[in-house]
Structure 1
Amino acid sequence: MNFIIWLIIFCEVAFWVVILLGLVTRYILKQKTLGLIFLALTPVIDLLLLITTAVDLMNGATAETPHAIAAVYISVSLVFGKSMINWTDDRFRYYVMKQGSKPYKPVGLAYSKNYGKNWLKHLLSYVIGTGILHFIIYLINNKSRTEAMNGVIHVWTIVIIVDLIICISYFIWPPKNKTHHN
Protein backbone atom coordinates (compact mmCIF):
# COMPACT_ATOMS: atom_id res chain seq x y z
CA MET A 1 0.00 0.00 0.00
CA ASN A 2 1.13 3.53 -0.78
CA PHE A 3 3.02 5.41 1.97
CA ILE A 4 0.56 8.32 1.85
CA ILE A 5 -2.37 5.93 2.45
CA TRP A 6 -0.62 4.60 5.56
CA LEU A 7 0.15 8.15 6.68
CA ILE A 8 -3.52 9.17 6.35
CA ILE A 9 -4.56 6.09 8.34
CA PHE A 10 -1.90 6.86 10.95
CA CYS A 11 -3.03 10.50 11.21
CA GLU A 12 -6.70 9.56 11.59
CA VAL A 13 -5.89 7.01 14.29
CA ALA A 14 -3.44 9.40 15.97
CA PHE A 15 -6.09 12.16 15.96
CA TRP A 16 -8.49 10.00 18.00
CA VAL A 17 -5.71 8.54 20.19
CA VAL A 18 -4.50 11.98 21.29
CA ILE A 19 -8.11 13.06 21.94
CA LEU A 20 -8.69 9.94 24.06
CA LEU A 21 -5.36 10.45 25.86
CA GLY A 22 -6.30 14.08 26.45
CA LEU A 23 -9.67 13.15 27.92
CA VAL A 24 -8.32 10.31 30.08
CA THR A 25 -5.50 12.54 31.31
CA ARG A 26 -7.87 15.44 31.98
CA TYR A 27 -10.69 13.58 33.74
CA ILE A 28 -9.36 10.30 35.10
CA LEU A 29 -5.78 11.32 35.96
CA LYS A 30 -6.88 14.89 36.92
CA GLN A 31 -4.01 16.42 34.92
CA LYS A 32 -5.77 19.26 33.08
CA THR A 33 -2.62 20.85 31.62
CA LEU A 34 -1.24 17.56 30.28
CA GLY A 35 -4.70 16.75 28.91
CA LEU A 36 -4.74 20.08 27.08
CA ILE A 37 -1.29 19.36 25.64
CA PHE A 38 -2.57 16.05 24.22
CA LEU A 39 -5.61 17.79 22.73
CA ALA A 40 -3.34 20.48 21.25
CA LEU A 41 -1.46 17.79 19.31
CA THR A 42 -4.34 17.38 16.85
CA PRO A 43 -3.21 20.27 14.59
CA VAL A 44 0.37 18.95 14.77
CA ILE A 45 -0.88 15.69 13.25
CA ASP A 46 -2.53 17.64 10.42
CA LEU A 47 0.67 19.59 9.84
CA LEU A 48 2.67 16.34 9.63
CA LEU A 49 0.30 15.02 6.98
CA LEU A 50 0.38 18.29 5.00
CA ILE A 51 4.18 18.53 4.99
CA THR A 52 4.70 14.86 4.09
CA THR A 53 2.17 15.01 1.26
CA ALA A 54 3.67 18.24 -0.11
CA VAL A 55 7.23 16.86 0.02
CA ASP A 56 6.11 13.66 -1.74
CA LEU A 57 4.46 15.63 -4.54
CA MET A 58 7.29 18.16 -4.86
CA ASN A 59 9.75 15.26 -5.17
CA GLY A 60 7.98 14.17 -8.34
CA ALA A 61 5.30 11.76 -7.15
CA THR A 62 2.20 11.58 -9.29
CA ALA A 63 -0.73 12.80 -7.27
CA GLU A 64 -3.00 9.89 -6.47
CA THR A 65 -6.34 9.78 -4.71
CA PRO A 66 -4.64 9.41 -1.27
CA HIS A 67 -2.79 12.70 -1.85
CA ALA A 68 -6.12 14.37 -2.57
CA ILE A 69 -7.79 12.70 0.40
CA ALA A 70 -5.00 14.13 2.56
CA ALA A 71 -6.20 17.63 1.57
CA VAL A 72 -9.79 16.62 2.34
CA TYR A 73 -8.75 15.18 5.72
CA ILE A 74 -6.78 18.31 6.63
CA SER A 75 -9.58 20.71 5.73
CA VAL A 76 -12.26 18.66 7.51
CA SER A 77 -10.01 18.35 10.56
CA LEU A 78 -9.36 22.10 10.60
CA VAL A 79 -13.04 23.03 10.35
CA PHE A 80 -14.63 20.23 12.38
CA GLY A 81 -11.73 19.43 14.75
CA LYS A 82 -12.82 21.61 17.67
CA SER A 83 -16.45 20.51 17.46
CA MET A 84 -15.40 16.84 17.21
CA ILE A 85 -13.25 17.28 20.32
CA ASN A 86 -16.13 19.02 22.16
CA TRP A 87 -18.57 16.28 21.06
CA THR A 88 -16.20 13.59 22.35
CA ASP A 89 -15.48 15.55 25.53
CA ASP A 90 -19.22 15.88 26.35
CA ARG A 91 -19.85 12.18 25.83
CA PHE A 92 -16.71 11.10 27.73
CA ARG A 93 -17.72 13.25 30.69
CA TYR A 94 -21.30 11.94 30.72
CA TYR A 95 -20.93 8.26 29.74
CA VAL A 96 -17.49 7.43 31.17
CA MET A 97 -17.08 9.84 34.09
CA LYS A 98 -20.81 9.96 34.92
CA GLN A 99 -20.59 13.75 35.25
CA GLY A 100 -22.69 16.56 33.85
CA SER A 101 -25.92 16.34 31.94
CA LYS A 102 -26.75 14.02 29.06
CA PRO A 103 -25.46 15.48 25.79
CA TYR A 104 -28.15 17.46 23.98
CA LYS A 105 -29.62 15.80 20.90
CA PRO A 106 -31.70 18.28 18.91
CA VAL A 107 -34.96 17.35 17.18
CA GLY A 108 -37.35 19.16 14.86
CA LEU A 109 -36.34 22.64 13.74
CA ALA A 110 -33.39 22.65 16.19
CA TYR A 111 -32.01 19.58 14.39
CA SER A 112 -32.51 21.30 11.03
CA LYS A 113 -30.67 24.42 12.21
CA ASN A 114 -27.84 22.30 13.64
CA TYR A 115 -27.58 20.38 10.36
CA GLY A 116 -27.56 23.69 8.48
CA LYS A 117 -24.73 24.97 10.68
CA ASN A 118 -22.78 21.77 10.02
CA TRP A 119 -23.48 22.07 6.29
CA LEU A 120 -21.92 25.55 6.38
CA LYS A 121 -18.88 24.00 8.10
CA HIS A 122 -18.84 21.34 5.38
CA LEU A 123 -18.92 24.13 2.79
CA LEU A 124 -16.00 25.87 4.51
CA SER A 125 -13.99 22.64 4.61
CA TYR A 126 -14.86 22.13 0.91
CA VAL A 127 -13.57 25.63 0.06
CA ILE A 128 -10.36 25.08 2.04
CA GLY A 129 -9.83 21.52 0.75
CA THR A 130 -10.52 22.28 -2.89
CA GLY A 131 -8.39 25.41 -2.51
CA ILE A 132 -5.50 23.24 -1.35
CA LEU A 133 -6.11 20.82 -4.22
CA HIS A 134 -6.25 23.64 -6.81
CA PHE A 135 -3.07 25.11 -5.34
CA ILE A 136 -1.30 21.76 -5.64
CA ILE A 137 -2.53 21.41 -9.22
CA TYR A 138 -1.19 24.91 -9.96
CA LEU A 139 2.19 24.19 -8.34
CA ILE A 140 2.73 20.88 -10.08
CA ASN A 141 1.47 22.31 -13.39
CA ASN A 142 1.23 18.89 -15.04
CA LYS A 143 -2.25 17.54 -15.80
CA SER A 144 -1.08 13.95 -16.05
CA ARG A 145 0.40 14.15 -12.53
CA THR A 146 -2.66 15.81 -10.96
CA GLU A 147 -5.58 13.98 -12.56
CA ALA A 148 -6.58 12.34 -9.26
CA MET A 149 -6.85 15.76 -7.62
CA ASN A 150 -9.49 16.84 -10.14
CA GLY A 151 -11.33 13.55 -9.62
CA VAL A 152 -11.60 14.14 -5.88
CA ILE A 153 -12.72 17.76 -6.46
CA HIS A 154 -15.52 16.50 -8.74
CA VAL A 155 -16.67 13.81 -6.28
CA TRP A 156 -16.56 16.25 -3.36
CA THR A 157 -18.59 18.77 -5.38
CA ILE A 158 -21.29 16.13 -5.85
CA VAL A 159 -21.15 15.24 -2.14
CA ILE A 160 -21.55 18.89 -1.04
CA ILE A 161 -24.55 19.32 -3.37
CA VAL A 162 -26.20 16.14 -2.09
CA ASP A 163 -25.51 17.27 1.49
CA LEU A 164 -27.17 20.63 0.69
CA ILE A 165 -30.25 18.81 -0.65
CA ILE A 166 -30.39 16.75 2.57
CA CYS A 167 -29.99 19.96 4.61
CA ILE A 168 -32.86 21.66 2.76
CA SER A 169 -35.04 18.56 3.18
CA TYR A 170 -34.61 18.79 6.97
CA PHE A 171 -36.05 22.30 6.90
CA ILE A 172 -39.02 21.07 4.84
CA TRP A 173 -39.52 17.88 6.89
CA PRO A 174 -37.83 18.40 10.28
CA PRO A 175 -37.01 15.14 12.08
CA LYS A 176 -39.44 14.37 14.86
CA ASN A 177 -38.62 13.10 18.32
CA LYS A 178 -38.46 9.28 18.16
CA THR A 179 -39.87 8.72 21.64
CA HIS A 180 -43.47 7.56 21.57
CA HIS A 181 -45.94 8.44 24.29
CA ASN A 182 -48.71 5.91 24.98
Structure 2
Amino acid sequence: MIVALIAACEIGFWVLLAAGLACRYLLRMPRTGLALLLCEPLLEVVLLVATALDLKNGAEPNWTHGLAALYIGYTVGHGHRTVKWLDGHAAHRLGGAPKPQGPPRYGMPRARHETRIWLGTLTGAAVATVLLQLAIWYVDDPGRSTSLEAWRYTAWRAAGIHGLVALAYWIWPKKAPAGGSGDRPAEAKEDARR
Protein backbone atom coordinates (compact mmCIF):
# COMPACT_ATOMS: atom_id res chain seq x y z
CA MET A 1 0.00 0.00 0.00
CA ILE A 2 2.78 2.46 0.87
CA VAL A 3 4.64 1.86 -2.42
CA ALA A 4 1.43 2.55 -4.36
CA LEU A 5 0.92 5.72 -2.33
CA ILE A 6 4.50 6.87 -3.02
CA ALA A 7 3.88 6.30 -6.74
CA ALA A 8 0.56 8.15 -6.50
CA CYS A 9 2.27 11.08 -4.73
CA GLU A 10 4.96 11.22 -7.42
CA ILE A 11 2.34 11.17 -10.18
CA GLY A 12 0.29 13.71 -8.26
CA PHE A 13 3.34 15.96 -7.95
CA TRP A 14 3.78 16.08 -11.73
CA VAL A 15 0.05 16.42 -12.41
CA LEU A 16 -0.27 19.34 -9.98
CA LEU A 17 2.88 20.89 -11.37
CA ALA A 18 1.67 20.62 -14.98
CA ALA A 19 -1.79 21.91 -14.05
CA GLY A 20 -0.33 24.80 -12.04
CA LEU A 21 2.03 25.85 -14.82
CA ALA A 22 -0.69 25.48 -17.46
CA CYS A 23 -3.03 27.70 -15.44
CA ARG A 24 -0.31 30.28 -14.90
CA TYR A 25 0.95 30.56 -18.46
CA LEU A 26 -1.53 29.00 -20.90
CA LEU A 27 -4.82 30.00 -19.28
CA ARG A 28 -3.44 33.27 -17.85
CA MET A 29 -4.79 32.43 -14.39
CA PRO A 30 -1.73 33.07 -12.18
CA ARG A 31 -3.56 32.86 -8.85
CA THR A 32 -5.17 29.53 -9.71
CA GLY A 33 -1.80 28.26 -10.91
CA LEU A 34 -0.11 29.40 -7.71
CA ALA A 35 -2.84 27.73 -5.63
CA LEU A 36 -2.27 24.45 -7.47
CA LEU A 37 1.49 24.71 -6.95
CA LEU A 38 0.99 25.41 -3.26
CA CYS A 39 -0.99 22.15 -2.98
CA GLU A 40 2.20 20.18 -3.68
CA PRO A 41 3.20 19.87 0.02
CA LEU A 42 -0.20 18.35 0.81
CA LEU A 43 0.87 15.23 -1.05
CA GLU A 44 3.72 14.72 1.41
CA VAL A 45 1.39 15.28 4.35
CA VAL A 46 -0.95 12.60 2.96
CA LEU A 47 2.00 10.20 2.58
CA LEU A 48 3.23 10.97 6.10
CA VAL A 49 -0.20 10.40 7.66
CA ALA A 50 -0.77 7.19 5.68
CA THR A 51 2.63 5.84 6.75
CA ALA A 52 1.94 6.65 10.40
CA LEU A 53 -1.50 5.01 10.21
CA ASP A 54 0.00 1.94 8.55
CA LEU A 55 2.48 1.59 11.42
CA LYS A 56 -0.23 2.29 14.00
CA ASN A 57 -2.39 -0.47 12.57
CA GLY A 58 0.39 -2.97 13.29
CA ALA A 59 2.19 -3.15 9.95
CA GLU A 60 5.68 -4.54 10.18
CA PRO A 61 8.17 -1.68 9.59
CA ASN A 62 9.92 -2.43 6.33
CA TRP A 63 11.63 -0.83 3.34
CA THR A 64 8.40 0.86 2.17
CA HIS A 65 8.24 2.98 5.32
CA GLY A 66 11.92 3.91 4.92
CA LEU A 67 11.38 4.78 1.27
CA ALA A 68 8.44 7.00 2.23
CA ALA A 69 10.67 8.92 4.66
CA LEU A 70 13.38 9.35 2.02
CA TYR A 71 10.80 10.48 -0.55
CA ILE A 72 9.45 13.12 1.82
CA GLY A 73 13.00 14.21 2.69
CA TYR A 74 13.93 14.51 -0.98
CA THR A 75 10.84 16.59 -1.66
CA VAL A 76 11.63 18.94 1.22
CA GLY A 77 15.27 19.26 0.13
CA HIS A 78 14.83 19.55 -3.62
CA GLY A 79 11.14 20.15 -4.36
CA HIS A 80 11.25 23.96 -4.27
CA ARG A 81 14.30 24.10 -6.55
CA THR A 82 12.66 21.70 -9.01
CA VAL A 83 9.43 23.70 -9.13
CA LYS A 84 11.33 26.98 -9.52
CA TRP A 85 13.43 25.56 -12.35
CA LEU A 86 10.38 24.23 -14.21
CA ASP A 87 8.48 27.48 -13.60
CA GLY A 88 11.31 29.46 -15.20
CA HIS A 89 11.27 27.22 -18.27
CA ALA A 90 7.46 27.33 -18.52
CA ALA A 91 7.55 31.13 -18.25
CA HIS A 92 10.04 31.18 -21.14
CA ARG A 93 8.27 28.67 -23.38
CA LEU A 94 4.67 29.56 -22.62
CA GLY A 95 4.75 33.08 -21.20
CA GLY A 96 7.30 34.86 -23.36
CA ALA A 97 9.78 35.47 -20.55
CA PRO A 98 13.50 35.47 -21.32
CA LYS A 99 15.23 32.11 -21.34
CA PRO A 100 16.36 31.24 -17.81
CA GLN A 101 20.08 31.18 -17.34
CA GLY A 102 21.43 27.72 -16.73
CA PRO A 103 23.78 26.84 -13.91
CA PRO A 104 27.39 27.94 -14.21
CA ARG A 105 29.49 25.36 -15.98
CA TYR A 106 33.01 26.18 -14.91
CA GLY A 107 35.26 27.16 -12.04
CA MET A 108 34.24 28.29 -8.58
CA PRO A 109 30.74 29.40 -9.62
CA ARG A 110 30.04 25.77 -10.59
CA ALA A 111 31.48 24.55 -7.28
CA ARG A 112 29.19 26.92 -5.36
CA HIS A 113 26.20 25.76 -7.42
CA GLU A 114 26.97 22.08 -6.73
CA THR A 115 27.34 22.87 -3.02
CA ARG A 116 23.89 24.51 -2.95
CA ILE A 117 22.38 21.40 -4.53
CA TRP A 118 24.23 19.24 -2.01
CA LEU A 119 22.74 21.32 0.81
CA GLY A 120 19.33 20.28 -0.52
CA THR A 121 20.40 16.64 -0.29
CA LEU A 122 21.71 17.26 3.22
CA THR A 123 18.36 18.81 4.19
CA GLY A 124 16.55 15.82 2.71
CA ALA A 125 18.71 13.40 4.69
CA ALA A 126 18.07 15.35 7.90
CA VAL A 127 14.30 15.37 7.33
CA ALA A 128 14.30 11.65 6.51
CA THR A 129 16.36 10.94 9.65
CA VAL A 130 13.93 12.84 11.84
CA LEU A 131 10.94 11.04 10.30
CA LEU A 132 12.63 7.66 10.64
CA GLN A 133 13.56 8.35 14.27
CA LEU A 134 9.97 9.37 15.02
CA ALA A 135 8.78 6.14 13.40
CA ILE A 136 11.26 4.11 15.49
CA TRP A 137 9.99 5.74 18.67
CA TYR A 138 6.41 5.25 17.47
CA VAL A 139 6.93 1.52 16.87
CA ASP A 140 8.80 1.28 20.20
CA ASP A 141 10.15 -2.20 19.51
CA PRO A 142 13.88 -2.48 18.78
CA GLY A 143 13.38 -5.86 17.16
CA ARG A 144 10.91 -4.48 14.64
CA SER A 145 12.67 -1.21 13.81
CA THR A 146 15.99 -2.44 12.38
CA SER A 147 14.74 -1.86 8.82
CA LEU A 148 13.97 1.76 9.65
CA GLU A 149 17.42 2.23 11.19
CA ALA A 150 19.03 0.93 8.00
CA TRP A 151 17.23 3.63 5.98
CA ARG A 152 18.80 6.34 8.14
CA TYR A 153 22.22 5.11 7.07
CA THR A 154 21.05 4.98 3.46
CA ALA A 155 20.02 8.65 3.63
CA TRP A 156 23.38 9.69 5.05
CA ARG A 157 25.36 7.53 2.62
CA ALA A 158 23.57 9.25 -0.27
CA ALA A 159 24.29 12.67 1.27
CA GLY A 160 27.93 11.69 1.81
CA ILE A 161 28.41 10.52 -1.78
CA HIS A 162 26.75 13.67 -3.08
CA GLY A 163 28.98 15.70 -0.78
CA LEU A 164 32.08 14.06 -2.26
CA VAL A 165 30.86 14.95 -5.76
CA ALA A 166 30.34 18.58 -4.70
CA LEU A 167 33.76 18.62 -3.05
CA ALA A 168 35.35 17.38 -6.27
CA TYR A 169 34.14 20.56 -8.00
CA TRP A 170 36.09 22.59 -5.42
CA ILE A 171 39.25 20.48 -5.64
CA TRP A 172 39.26 20.03 -9.44
CA PRO A 173 37.27 22.91 -10.89
CA LYS A 174 36.45 22.48 -14.54
CA LYS A 175 38.19 25.09 -16.66
CA ALA A 176 36.41 27.11 -19.33
CA PRO A 177 37.48 26.41 -22.89
CA ALA A 178 40.08 28.75 -24.33
CA GLY A 179 38.64 31.89 -25.89
CA GLY A 180 35.71 32.56 -23.56
CA SER A 181 34.27 32.23 -20.12
CA GLY A 182 31.93 29.42 -21.18
CA ASP A 183 29.24 30.72 -18.85
CA ARG A 184 27.63 33.19 -21.19
CA PRO A 185 24.03 32.61 -22.34
CA ALA A 186 23.59 30.94 -25.73
CA GLU A 187 22.39 34.20 -27.34
CA ALA A 188 25.62 35.99 -26.37
CA LYS A 189 27.66 33.11 -27.79
CA GLU A 190 25.76 33.37 -31.09
CA ASP A 191 26.38 37.11 -31.22
CA ALA A 192 30.08 36.56 -30.57
CA ARG A 193 30.29 34.09 -33.47
CA ARG A 194 28.80 36.61 -35.97
Q: Which runs of 5+ in 1 are unaligned?
A: none
Report deviation, 1:105. Answer: 2.3
Aligned match of 1:110: 109
Moved more, 120-129 or 21-30: 120-129
RMSD: 2.0
Partner AA of 2:159 in structure 1: I
Match among 66, 91, 100 for residue 89 of structure 2: 91
- What secondary structure is seen at the aligned counterpart in 2 of 1:144? coil
Report deviation, 1:134. Answer: 1.0
- What secondary structure is seen at the aligned counterpart in 1 of 2:101? coil
CA contact (8 A) 2:20 2:35 kept: yes
Q: Structure 2 matches for 1:5-84, cutoff 5 A?
A: 5-84=3-82
CA distance in 1: counterparts of 2:20 and 2:11, whole angstroms: 14
Aligned match of 1:127: 126
CA contact (8 A) 1:65 1:148 kept: yes
Moved more, 26-35 or 153-162: 153-162
CA contact (8 A) 1:91 1:103 kept: no
Partner AA of 1:145 in structure 2: R
CA contact (8 A) 2:23 2:30 kept: yes
Aligned match of 2:140: 141
Residues 50-102 of structure 1 deviation map (CA, whole Å, 9 limit, x = unaligned) = 00010000111011111111111112212322211101111122244453124
Partner AA of 2:127 in structure 1: I
Compared CA separation, residues 180 and 47, structure 1 to 2 (3 A)? farther
Aligned match of 1:151: 150
Report deviation, 1:156. Answer: 1.9
Residues 91-141 of structure 1 deviation map (CA, whole Å, 9 limit, x = unaligned) = 122244453124322122111101111212211221111111011111211
- What secondary structure is seen at the aligned counterpart in 2 of 1:145? coil
CA contact (8 A) 2:76 2:127 kept: no
CA distance in 1: counterparts of 2:177 and 2:44, whole angstroms: 38
**Corresponding pairs, count:** 180
Give the share of equivalent positions with the same residue, in percent.
Answer: 26
Moved more, 159-168 or 25-34: 159-168
CA contact (8 A) 2:76 2:123 kept: no
CA distance in 2: counterparts of 1:133 and 1:79, whole angstroms: 16
Report deviation, 1:152. Answer: 1.3
Aligned match of 1:172: 171
Compared CA separation, residues 58 and 36, structure 1 to 2 (3 A)? same
Compared CA separation, residues 142 and 178, structure 1 to 2 (3 A)? farther
- What secondary structure is seen at the aligned counterpart in 1 of 2:148? helix
- What secondary structure is seen at the aligned counterpart in 2 of 1:105? coil
CA distance in 1: counterparts of 2:28 and 2:178, whole angstroms: 37
Compared CA separation, residues 175 and 20, structure 1 to 2 (3 A)? farther
Report deviation, 1:45. Answer: 0.6
CA distance in 2: counterparts of 1:176 and 1:91, whole angstroms: 27
Partner AA of 2:65 in structure 1: H
Report deviation, 1:172. Answer: 1.0
